[in-house]
Amino acid sequence: MGVNAIPSSLLSVDDGRPDPRILAQGHPPAGPLIDTFARVADDLRVSVTDRCNFRCTYCMPAEGLRWLPKPEILTFEEIDRVVGVFSSLGVRAVKLTGGEPTVRSDLPALVRMLRERDPDLELSMTTNGILLDRLAGPLAEAGLDRVTVSCDSLLRHRFAEMTRRDALERVFGGLRAAEGAGLVPIKLNVVVIGGQNDGEVVSFARFARETGYEVRFIEYMPLDAEHRWERDKVVPNADVLQRIDAELPLVPADGEPHPASTYRFADGAPGAIGVISSVTEPFCDTCNRLRLTSDGKLLACLFVLEEVDLRDPLRSGASDDELVGLIRAGVWAKWEGHRINHPDFVRPTRSMSMIGG
Ligand code: SAM
Ligand code: SF4
């Protein structure tokens, strides 16, 4: 069945679940990875570990989480095999994440495996940046294309407060190393939290102009392990853009990448501003992302309540065709959208670092 074969009258339902009448038609046997809402998934986030060397307040408790035992984590060979299957289904972009991906030992070896299997794969990584001072070179040499570095404050004390690590200088060093190694264009992720770093958005825009980075403001989502999230702390990206535009006029960028809406500076200065407005302006209707957790579960959405296990089938000898069947079925059943703004919203069991953001 092709994407266009789904009757549009069936594409919207009240509770966000796929219409059972479409689900009952089974998943398409060939072609791109589509769901019952006619979205095509071609972007995969691969978590390589649930561990982290930071303790960002909006993500993890100060004492950390109970880490998964090593045997539960996919080996590099297993990750490579699964990524190969996803590639055969049209996935073109893979982003390594975690937890903190750079704490997984010998990460460049995984990058090399993925690169050797597919020279055309768009291969990037999201990192807190603290280990890039020593890893940027080896990762670039192994075939990583670029990095996104998370950095929530340009002020030492606030950075330390938000990440529970006094590491801003070292992250700056990591950014310089990433540039030196050619892991560009660099994107900087900033989670904006009301009453904490929201006064810094214009400073971040100036930083984008000075460095040429794309600074991406991410709305705070209810995915923190301690369940401290409050709607009042979410700063709508519309406000962020307004504040920046008042001082440094912005224009929408052409051919903007999805799902971040991207803006450039009207005066032609380098750098860009991106916004990921998952809470106030969800982009679920065009979401093309899938996630593979470090223990081998496929999540069609950050907020899914049902995961598809790929690890046990993988370890008990499943063929590529069998994995394809599991993946297609998992994507086919993707919900219409997350339910953050609905009264019936249920938080998923896994928090952000256990999924892979
Ligand atoms: N450790 C790496 C890092 O921090 O970049 C990669 C994993 S981290 C889970 C991926 C992204 O998720 C980061 O940019 C982080 O800021 C973001 N994130 C974590 N918790 C979040 C939350 N509750 N709401 C919004 N973004 C969150
Ligand atoms: Fe670690 Fe990234 Fe979570 Fe911060 S956001 S605690 S760096 S996984």
Query: What is the torsional sign of CA 6, 7, 8, 13?
Result: negative
How would residue 194 be classed by pLDDT, with cut points 50, 70 and 90?
very high
Cα-based distances in Å from 349 to 51, 222, 352, 355: 17, 11, 10, 10
Ligand 2 pocket, 223 CB below 6 A? no
Ligand nearest to the CA of 126: 1
Range from 21-25, 37-41, 192-196 carrying the lowest mean pLDDT: 21-25
pLDDT of residue 15: 63
Nearby residues of 354 by Cβ (< 8 Å), 6 or more positions away: 50, 65, 99, 225, 293
How would residue 29 be classed by pLDDT, with cut points 50, 70 and 90?
confident
Ligand nearest to the CA of 62: 2
Q: What is the percentage of the chain residues whose pLDDT exceeds 90?
A: 75
Range from 18-27, 68-77, 174-183 carrying the lowest mean pLDDT: 18-27
Are the C-beta atoms of residues 80 and 48 closer than 8 Å to each other? Answer: no
Higher pLDDT pick, 210 / 258: 210
For the chain, the C-alpha Rg in angstroms (whole number) is: 20
Q: Per residue in 267-296, pLDDT tens?
A: 999 999 999 988 888 778 888 999 999 999
User: How far does residue 258's CA lie from ligand 1's centre (Å)?
Assistant: 18
Ligand 2 pocket, 204 CB below 6 A? no
Ligand 2 pocket, 131 CB below 6 A? no
Euclidean distance between CA atoms 153 and 10, whole angstroms: 45
User: How far does residue 52's CA lie from ligand 2's centre (Å)?
Assistant: 6
pLDDT of residue 11: 45
| E strand or H helix at 298 | strand 297-299
pLDDT of residue 145: 98
Q: Which atom number of ligand 2 is nearest to the Cα of residue 99?
A: 8
Give the number of other CB atoms < 10 A from CB of residue 205.
26
Report the CATH fold assignment for 3-23+35-355: TIM Barrel (3.20.20)
Residue 259 token pair: 């799902």
Euclidean distance between CA atoms 226 and 61, whole angstroms: 6
Q: Per residue in 236-257, pLDDT tens?
A: 999 999 999 999 999 999 765 5
Higher pLDDT pick, 25 / 260: 25
The pLDDT of 157-171, averaged and rounded, is 98
User: How far does residue 263's CA lie from ligand 1's centre (Å)?
Assistant: 22
- Please give the mean pLDDT across all residues of the chain: 91
pLDDT of residue 2: 38
Residue 218 token pair: 């991410």
The pLDDT of 208-223, averaged and rounded, is 96
Range from 119-133, 188-202, 330-344 carrying the lowest mean pLDDT: 330-344
Ligand 2 pocket, 28 CB below 6 A? no
pLDDT of residue 258: 58
Euclidean distance between CA atoms 293 and 97, whole angstroms: 9
Predicted TM-score of the model (pTM) = 0.93
The pLDDT of 17-29, averaged and rounded, is 73
Per residue in 249-275, is it b (16+ CB within 10 Å) or e — as a string? ebeebeeeeebbbbbbbeeeeebbbbb
Are the C-beta atoms of residues 126 and 52 closer than 8 Å to each other? Answer: no
**Residue nearest atom 20 of ligand 1, based on CA coordinates:** 59
Query: Which of 121, 137, 111, 117 is CA-nearest to residue 48?
Result: 111
How would residue 177 be classed by pLDDT, with cut points 50, 70 and 90?
very high
**Residue nearest atom 13 of ligand 1, based on CA coordinates:** 150
User: How far does residue 38's CA lie from ligand 1's centre (Å)?
Assistant: 28
Q: Which of 191, 204, 293 to mutate to test the pocket of ligand 1 (most atoms within 8 A of CB)?
A: 191
Q: Which atom number of ligand 2 is nearest to the Cα of residue 100?
A: 8
pLDDT of residue 7: 46
Range from 102-111, 250-259, 316-325 carrying the lowest mean pLDDT: 250-259
User: How far does residue 134's CA lie from ligand 1's centre (Å)?
Assistant: 22
Query: Which of 148, 151, 79 is CA-nearest to residue 115?
Result: 79
Ligand nearest to the CA of 47: 1
